[in-house]
Amino acid sequence: MSYLDRIRACNKRDMSRYRPFTVGGVHVGYVRTDAVKLLAPYAETFEVSERAVALNSNFGDFESRTAAIDQVLREINKLGVMSGWRDEPYAVTAAFGAPALFIMERAAVPLFGVRAYGVHMNGYVRKNGKYFMWIGRRSRHKQTYPSMLDNMVAGGLPYGLTAQECLIKECDEEAAIPKSLAARAMAVSAVTYCAETPEGLRPDVQYCFDLEFPSYFQPMPRDGEIETFTLMPIDEVAAIVRETDQFKFNCNLVIIDFLVRHGLIGPDDPDYVAIVQGLHQ
Amino acid sequence: MSYLDRIRACNKRDMSRYRPFTVGGVHVGYVRTDAVKLLAPYAETFEVSERAVALNSNFGDFESRTAAIDQVLREINKLGVMSGWRDEPYAVTAAFGAPALFIMERAAVPLFGVRAYGVHMNGYVRKNGKYFMWIGRRSRHKQTYPSMLDNMVAGGLPYGLTAQECLIKECDEEAAIPKSLAARAMAVSAVTYCAETPEGLRPDVQYCFDLEFPSYFQPMPRDGEIETFTLMPIDEVAAIVRETDQFKFNCNLVIIDFLVRHGLIGPDDPDYVAIVQGLHQ
């Protein structure tokens, strides 16, 4: 395996298995063929054709779209086909920064292949010029990717919060990082990819933050999302990324981006340009 | 103007004006229609058709290709259609990291629309948490982009040097930066673009380096490429990038990449994702 293989894995998909999902004539996502069958019975809400899935145009505004979709999702969730129900509102927009067309339960986002936004933070320590990175292990009870390795702090960007606000909130909830410290996290990049996951298509944007910690700081699991935190030498982290499947798929990209920005992967790597381009495709 | 406009400017091109340039069956560049006419008389070297320009397959190895192309270029140069002659050898490869197919005078690279590689360095100073950036003004006598603003140090990557070696050499030649200091420059990114310039098509890769300088350091023009160096507050640099055409086209991308990596352009910018993706297209 190589860094490039990790990037490829986050962009592997068979689009012939998806139908475009449109709302008010705007293409906002992709529904996988097997999920289309789940929506078909709700003909008053979803107009399912051979070529696309469209929200019924009767639902013409934010409130009615949100309510109509929510109702169907609660029914579908009873079938156990979603990865749980998180009660996290996701804003679906026509384009980044555009007004929300409607709000959708986060767990349903991949089912509709809607672009989702999240925040991921590289927490690191420098000792004698060497980098160490705080790595979290996800709870064995997580609905998604249980027990896998994760960035120190990460989370989906809910409706109404900026990326920075969301990160500060997640820092507190996941790792008991005080606000005064979390506020120093610096937005440094965004990784983008379009992955086919068991839940559905994920054409995601993950905003990346870096935060250098003092060596005495010890993160603490708080909300149970992360079970343990370990400070690892960066070479060890890089080897895990390169050679194993231990990290949740998209965390690999966030770490590779860190390695590039901190000169730990350099132009002498024959894959350098492909890596840099691949992180932002 | 916006940051995104700068990125778009570096990727504006009309490909209908170009014919693929192939060597040994490998597609290595694009020749603009008007340049095709310059090559047509050299039928022993270049096979010009309606659809492509191919190096005559009689030239089957590195040495013979290099010699044959060099001979034609020296003739063409007499017509004054190239931006001078720099005596800088450029290695043309089938793909990054692949063995060189042949070597070509640097000034001819855009004429053949061959992917070229270069190094650009952001030299910066931090005072009281504020960033300042060393900006060069190109010599009024430069063959290309005279008197325009430039990164502190930049140059094309010649055959046989690594990016880091090339940067250290350019640091010495352009700004009298001692090797001990230059060696601390960190490879942090690569910007990629495909620009149509007066010289031809430039599908370039520029390796980006950051180097933080102590506040007492003063760069000195040495080889005459740069006339003056000015330490500017980063806000001023950002405004020049955004609102003027003072920087040489590709330097804008290197600076925008710096602004992203140092949190000076953040996710709250509605163009953030498009900027990050656009720098690496």
CA distance B95 to B10: 21
pLDDT at B88 over 90: no
Query: Residue B33 has which token pair?
Result: 């229609």
Query: Residue B36 has which token pair?
Result: 């095709």
Q: What's the pLDDT tens digit per position in A209-234?
A: 999 999 999 999 999 899 999 999 99
Q: Does A189 touch chain B (CB under 8 A)?
A: yes
Inter-chain touch A276–B162, beta carbons under 8 Å:
no
Of A98 and A154, more confident: A154
**Residue with structure tokens 């559905």?**
A200
Looking at residue A160, its pLDDT comes to 83
Q: What's the pLDDT tens digit per position in B148-179?
A: 999 999 999 988 899 999 999 999 999 999 99
Q: What's the pLDDT tens digit per position in B227-278?
A: 999 999 999 999 999 999 999 999 999 999 999 999 999 999 999 999 999 9
Between the alpha carbon of residue B180 and those of residues A133, B168, B185, B254, the distances in Å are 28, 9, 10, 24
Which of A28-32, A83-87, B125-129 is predicted least confidently?
A83-87
Residue of A nearest to B98 (CA): A270
CA distance B164 to B170: 10
Q: Does B189 touch chain A (CB under 8 A)?
A: yes
Provide φ and ψ at B60, rounded to 5°.
-105, -5
Q: Does A144 touch chain B (CB under 8 A)?
A: no
Q: Does A26 touch chain B (CB under 8 A)?
A: no
Element housing A74 (H / E) = helix A62-77
Residue of B nearest to A95 (CA): B270
Mean pLDDT computed over every residue of chain B: 94
Facing residues of A127 across strands?
Answer: A130
Share of chain B above pLDDT 70, in %: 99
Beta strands B53-55 and B18-23 are parallel
Mean pLDDT computed over every residue of chain A: 94
Looking at residue A234, its pLDDT comes to 98
Facing residues of A137 across strands?
Answer: A149, A228
A151-160, B106-115, B236-245: range with highest mean pLDDT: B236-245
The total of other beta-carbon atoms located within 10 Å of residue B85's CB is: 14
Between the alpha carbon of residue A274 and those of residues A261, B161, B238, the distances in Å are 15, 20, 28
Query: Residue B244 has which token pair?
Result: 């003027």
Between the alpha carbon of residue B22 and those of residues A83, B26, B68, B93, B115, the distances in Å are 51, 5, 15, 11, 13
Inter-chain touch A96–B192, beta carbons under 8 Å:
no
Looking at residue A53, its pLDDT comes to 96
Inter-chain touch A96–B276, beta carbons under 8 Å:
no
From chain B, the residues in CB contact with A190 under 8 A are 267, 272-273, 276
Report how many Cβ contacts below 8 Å link chain A to chain B. 80
CA distance A157 to A259: 24
Inter-chain touch A267–B187, beta carbons under 8 Å:
yes
Inter-chain touch B276–A190, beta carbons under 8 Å:
yes
Residues 194-223 (B) with a CB less than 8 A from some CB of A: 205, 207
> Is B99 in contact with B93 (CB distance < 8 Å)?
yes
Q: What's the pLDDT tens digit per position in A104-146?
A: 998 899 899 999 899 999 999 999 999 999 999 999 999 889 9
